[in-house]
A = this chain, B = another copy of it.
Amino acid sequence: MSLLKALRYFFREAAVNLLRGWKVSLLAVLTIAVSLFIGGAFLLVSDNLESSVERWRGEMRVVIYLKPETPEADLRRLAAEAARAPGVRSVEPVTAAAARKRFQQVFPSLSNLVAGWQEEPLPASLEIGLDPRTAGSAPGREAWLASWRTRPEVSLIDDDREWLGQLATAVAVVRAVGVALVAGLLGAAIFTIASVIRLTAYLHSEEIGIMRLVGATELYIRGPFYVEGLLQGLIGGLMASGALWAGYQLLHARGGGSLFSSVLALDFLGVQQVAFLILLGGAAGLFGAVASLRREAL
């Protein structure tokens, strides 16, 4: 038989078996889908967490608070000076008045409190956006900051990098844990899929024995089962992707501008990742079939 003919035979047989044994197939496919769904959900979450971290990184700032008495002209001059430093992406001078306005916007309930003050309650400041690529560790950055600290106009430097440094460790932890989790979950998914396919193979061990006795070669005996495993895995992967997408849409629809969307549900998985998930299902199904049809296993 030519390879093409053989493949056609495998696929036809596999399809027929899937349909005739639909109860078992459905069970297998659903289990695979559940496993991949969990794995995919983690991929989704950890992806988005990572991109959140990237975004935060991009927004990393150093805020230089000036002494209350600093005139606005000094503020502009200092801003221009800060902007010349290497690794500085943007400098936004915030006058005391602007700071108060912002405070009133952010905490409207407290705005009349602030309004009652005689002098400007908040100091003017320079909000310096750092280049995210070098934000954490540009050489000379510490010395540069220290030189600012000694200036008479500066009262305090609030360095986002300090807590971003902490955040970075937290993020590193989350990422490490996330990678471990996704790996672990996908590993578990593959194991589960292989187990399930193997269990279904036990159901067919008698049939396989008969095929051997009748004179079929191993390739022709196993081909259909391999394809069956592959198809079950692919279908499971498709179902998992569909369910993920539905879940994502649901979250988006319900928690549009809420916590979720801000921290997690930014983007759906990319095409490659969805393809990866589906192919992973297929690969696990195939692997399970291959593992379970080793001669000794039956």
Q: List the interface of chain A (C-beta within 8 A of B).
A: 23-24, 27-28, 30-31, 34-35, 37-38, 41, 45, 65, 68, 107, 109-110, 113-114, 117, 121, 123, 142-143, 146, 149-150, 155-156, 158, 163, 169-170, 172-173, 176-177, 181, 184-185, 188, 191-192, 195-196, 198-200, 202-203, 259-260, 263-264, 297
* Copies of this chain assembled into the complex: 2
Partner of A263, one of B37, B113, B170, B297: B170
**What are 8 A-B contacts defined by CB distance under 8 Å?**
A28-B199, A30-B191, A34-B188, A38-B38, A117-B150, A121-B149, A155-B155, A155-B156
Taken together as a complex, chains A and B put the C-alpha atoms of A30 and B65 apart, in Å, by 60
Q: DSSP class of A's interface residues: helix, strand, loop or mixed? A: helix
| Chain B residues within 8 Å of A177, by CB | 45, 264
Give chain B nearest CB distance to A80 CB in angstroms. Answer: 24
| Chain B residues within 8 Å of A24, by CB | 199, 202
Decide: A173 near B35, CB < 8 A? Known: A24-B202, A203-B202. no
| Chain B residues within 8 Å of A173, by CB | 259-260, 263-264
Q: Are B146 and A110 in contact (CB under 8 A)?
A: yes
Give chain B nearest CB distance to A78 CB in angstroms. Answer: 18
| Chain B residues within 8 Å of A158, by CB | 158
Q: Are B199 and A35 in contact (CB under 8 A)?
A: no
Q: Are A35 and B196 in contact (CB under 8 A)?
A: no
